[in-house]
């Protein structure tokens, strides 16, 4: 697991916990509406950042649609005219 995936999991967990806290625990009732909204917005931002990090491509991973490029030229034809097949 690379570091982006680890960070993504942590952000997704943080976002999930903040959304659960905002809906189930009564201690947030003591906050004003601005505080409750800040907790929800922070949870959503953490969730979105986690999703974007989860799907981020690293430099080692080629994109699925890309085909590997051959490193050598194709072998010359057997006819000897120098034209590739």
What band does 20 get if pLDDT is binned at 50, 70 and 90?
confident
pLDDT band at residue 78 using 50, 70 and 90 as cut-offs:
low
- Res 75 pLDDT > 70: no
pLDDT digits (tens, 9 = 90+) for 47-65: 999 999 888 876 665 556 6
List, in order, residues 6 or more apart from 47 with CB less than 8 Å away. Answer: 11, 12, 15, 16, 19
**What are the sequence ranges of the domains in the chain?**
15-54
CA distance 62 to 75: 26
pLDDT at 74 over 60: no
pLDDT score recorded for residue 13: 93
């Amino acid at each position: 697991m690379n570091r982006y995936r680890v960070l993504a999991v942590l952000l997704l967990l943080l976002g999930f916990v903040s959304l659960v806290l905002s809906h189930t625990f009564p201690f947030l009732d003591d906050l004003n509406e601005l505080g409750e909204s800040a907790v929800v917005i922070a949870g959503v931002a953490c969730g979105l950042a986690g999703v974007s990090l989860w799907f981020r491509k690293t430099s080692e991973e080629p994109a699925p649609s890309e085909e590997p490029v051959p490193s050598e030229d194709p072998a010359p034809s057997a006819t000897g005219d120098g034209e590739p097949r």
